[in-house]
């Protein structure tokens, strides 16, 4: 079997870089990629020589979101589950199938990655859409290039936002509503203004700027960083993030179920082409 290159892992000094590597599909996340990311984060967590982890996307775009239409779309397949104790989705039907799968590969994994006890720095260029946002949002720091844009257009599918519903915690609620209600792209500059990203740099400087930030943070003591990260994450949870994610996950699945009852599929008949045209 050919080596799995869906996600690349590379350590230089105290910085491990984890790179999504499906550039021909704008790094659309299939389950194979999700599990490969999970593997990479475990590896970085366990390696005492790694102080900080960078998450990047190969090619022109960070991530166009979850895979809803590439030839390697693998939502129907079983994987060895890791994020929770929900049973395998592959031989189940209806809402049970969707809830079990998304609890594992979307909400469960994102939640766990947010708790990686080392700082995670996102390096974002081009598209950061829907499922791409969730990967950016589980990172502690975000460096974006000036051509980056952020959007969650899934309201077009009748769905109230992507599975990891951190929107009103990572930006002001009224801005979150605008992002969701219009499906419009938020520019890197605007994302900076509302406090969603830490730095905006020219595209050509993105890799170096991300690395500079990661190396600077990596000079801090390991336990200090882990505790500081936990302190801020706990504050977000006290502000309702953890419970909010659970409650909106239920609304998200109500929408999938409504679509499945009233249209051809749980995505409301939307595919990549229709999403682009609408
Ligand atoms: Zn979903």
d(Cα 57, Cα 145) in Å, to the nearest integer?
12
Output the CA 249–ligand 1 centroid distance in Å.
Answer: 8
pLDDT at 1: 47
> What is the distance in angstroms between the CA of the first residue and the CA of the last residue of the chain?
40
Output the CA 131–ligand 1 centroid distance in Å.
Answer: 10
Taking alpha carbons only, the member of 145, 139, 151, 152 closest to residue 125 is 145
What kind of architecture, by CATH, is found in domain 3-277? Alpha-Beta Complex (3.90)
Tens digits of residue pLDDT in 219-235: 999 999 999 999 999 99
pLDDT at 266: 87
d(Cα 215, Cα 220) in Å, to the nearest integer?
9
Output the CA 164–ligand 1 centroid distance in Å.
Answer: 9
Taking alpha carbons only, the member of 115, 143, 126 closest to residue 206 is 143
Output the CA 218–ligand 1 centroid distance in Å.
Answer: 35
Output the CA 187–ligand 1 centroid distance in Å.
Answer: 25
pLDDT at 3: 64
Domain spans of the chain? 3-277
Output the CA 63–ligand 1 centroid distance in Å.
Answer: 17
Output the CA 97–ligand 1 centroid distance in Å.
Answer: 11
d(Cα 152, Cα 146) in Å, to the nearest integer?
19
Point out the residues of the chain with pLDDT beneath 70: 1-3, 277-278
For residues 86 and 61, the answer to whether their CB atoms sit within 8 Å is: no
CA dihedral defined by 81, 152, 187, 126, rounded to 10 degrees? 50
d(Cα 269, Cα 273) in Å, to the nearest integer?
11
Output the CA 96–ligand 1 centroid distance in Å.
Answer: 12
Output the CA 254–ligand 1 centroid distance in Å.
Answer: 10
pLDDT at 192: 98
d(Cα 5, Cα 187) in Å, to the nearest integer?
30
Return left, alpha or beta for 158; rule: phi > 0 is left, psi -120 to 50 is alpha, else beta. left
d(Cα 196, Cα 163) in Å, to the nearest integer?
18
Output the CA 5–ligand 1 centroid distance in Å.
Answer: 25
Q: Which residues of 173-192 are buried (b: 16+ CB within 10 A; e: fewer)?
A: eebbeebbeebeebbbebbb
Taking alpha carbons only, the member of 63, 129, 116, 122 closest to residue 233 is 116
Q: Which residues pair with 12 in a beta bridge?
A: 15
Output the CA 67–ligand 1 centroid distance in Å.
Answer: 11
d(Cα 278, Cα 60) in Å, to the nearest integer?
23
CA angle 172, 66, 2 (to 5 degrees): 140
pLDDT at 265: 84
Q: H or E element: which one contains 43?
A: helix 31-46
- Around ion ligand 1, residues with a beta carbon closer than 5 Å are 102
d(Cα 16, Cα 41) in Å, to the nearest integer?
9
């Amino acid at each position: 079997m050919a080596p799995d290159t869906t996600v690349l892992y590379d350590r230089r000094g105290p910085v491990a870089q984890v790179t999504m590597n499906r550039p021909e599909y704008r790094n659309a996340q299939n389950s194979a990629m999700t599990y490969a990311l999970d593997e990479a984060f475990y590896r970085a967590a366990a390696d005492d020589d790694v102080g900080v982890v960078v998450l990047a996307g190969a090619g022109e775009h960070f991530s166009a979101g979850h895979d809803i239409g590439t030839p390697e779309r693998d939502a129907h397949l079983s994987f060895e589950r890791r994020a929770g104790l929900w049973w395998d989705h592959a031989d189940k039907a209806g809402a049970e199938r969707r809830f079990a799968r998304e609890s594992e590969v979307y909400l469960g994994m994102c939640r766990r990655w947010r708790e990686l006890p080392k700082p995670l720095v996102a390096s974002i260029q081009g598209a950061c859409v829907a499922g791409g946002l969730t990967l950016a949002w589980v990172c502690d720091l975000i460096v974006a290039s000036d051509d980056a844009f952020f959007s969650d257009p899934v309201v077009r599918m009748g769905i109230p936002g992507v599975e990891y519903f951190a929107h009103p915690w990572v930006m002001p609620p009224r801005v979150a509503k605008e992002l969701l209600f219009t499906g419009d792209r938020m520019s890197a500059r605007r994302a900076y203004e509302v406090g969603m990203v830490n730095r905006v740099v020219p595209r050509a400087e993105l890799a170096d700027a991300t690395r500079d930030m990661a190396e600077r943070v990596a000079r801090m003591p390991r336990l200090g960083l882990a505790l500081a990260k936990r302190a801020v994450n706990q504050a977000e949870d006290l502000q309702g993030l953890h419970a909010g994610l659970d409650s909106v996950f239920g609304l998200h699945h109500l929408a999938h179920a409504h679509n499945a009852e009233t249209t051809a599929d749980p995505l409301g008949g939307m595919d990549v082409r229709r999403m682009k045209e609408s």
